[in-house]
Amino acid sequence: MLTQTFIHIQGIGYATERRLWELGARTWEAFLAIRPQPRLPLSRAEDLPAAVAASLERLAAGDHRFFARRLPSRDHWRALPEFGERILFLDIETDGGTEIDSVTVIGAHDGRQLHQFVRGQNLLDFPDLADQAQLLVTFFGSGFDLPLLRRAFPRLPLDQLHVDLCYALRRLGHRGGLKAIEREIGLARSADTAGLNGWDAVRLWQEYRWGREDSLTTLRRYNAEDVENMRPLLAYAYERLRARALGEAWEECDIRNAERGM
């Protein structure tokens, strides 16, 4: 989807992007081959080929930050196929606070295996894994997980591409928290964690501090399911957002071109 995208280029909005598709520029390569002329101010029209060529160069270089800075945050999902090999699904648990030392457990799945970082054990190892990621996936991470992680690790920029599933799924009509949406889509939790929520995560951490090792085991399992269930949710959201953004738009373009005899 990224190589069909033009909205990361200054001066290009959704309507102009659709116009470019309608004119036959359905990929960056196609644009450079046919050089369509959308209705743009002359200076921006003249700069557009160079901007498209630069996009191809930055993609070939694997420069995820180039696209993270330029794509609207709501459209970072478009970069999933191109940068999904270095993905990181993230979810944190806390002691109920929002301070620099509030994070208790960080769950992170890199697409191959689950990693968990626990306060007092290996929490400080998290930045080494996070630095390797090009695309982050969270559920309401924009408002919770990432701000807390930036406080806990002030030298960690966390400036990668970021898909916040809370907002991506909301655009598809899903409301509520992660567990409610999981149930709507048909994802099940284990018997050990079914019915647990964020406040239970706080309670389990306190019980662990009071000496109950089994509470940490349950907390880690709860966190692991939060992280691992994001993977099918991302696949679900991506296919539907792509169909909405691309499939419907291209179908409309084909109809218009047919009417014009193009």
Nearest to residue 77, comparing CAs of 157, 132, 178, 1? 1
d(CA 255, CA 2): 23
The pLDDT value recorded for residue 41 is 75
The pLDDT value recorded for residue 40 is 75
The pLDDT value recorded for residue 166 is 98
The pLDDT value recorded for residue 248 is 62
The pLDDT value recorded for residue 183 is 94
Over the stretch 180-221, which tens digit does the pLDDT of each residue have?
A: 999 999 999 999 899 999 999 999 999 999 999 999 999 999
The three-point CA angle 37-58-8 to 5° equals 50
Are residues 165 and 142 in contact, defined by beta-carbon separation less than 8 angstroms? no
pTM more than 0.85: yes
Mean pLDDT by 10 residues, the chain (262 residues): 95 91 94 87 81 97 98 97 97 93 97 97 97 97 96 95 98 94 93 92 97 97 97 97 79 54 52
The pLDDT value recorded for residue 217 is 97
Q: Are strands 114-118 and 135-138 parallel, antiparallel or unpaired?
A: unpaired
Q: Are strands 87-94 and 103-109 parallel, antiparallel or unpaired?
A: antiparallel
The three-point CA angle 141-167-254 to 5° equals 135
Surface-to-core class of residue 114, CB atoms within 10 Å of its CB (0-12 exposed, 13-18 middle, 19+ buried)? middle
d(CA 130, CA 82): 18
The pLDDT value recorded for residue 251 is 59
The pLDDT value recorded for residue 255 is 47
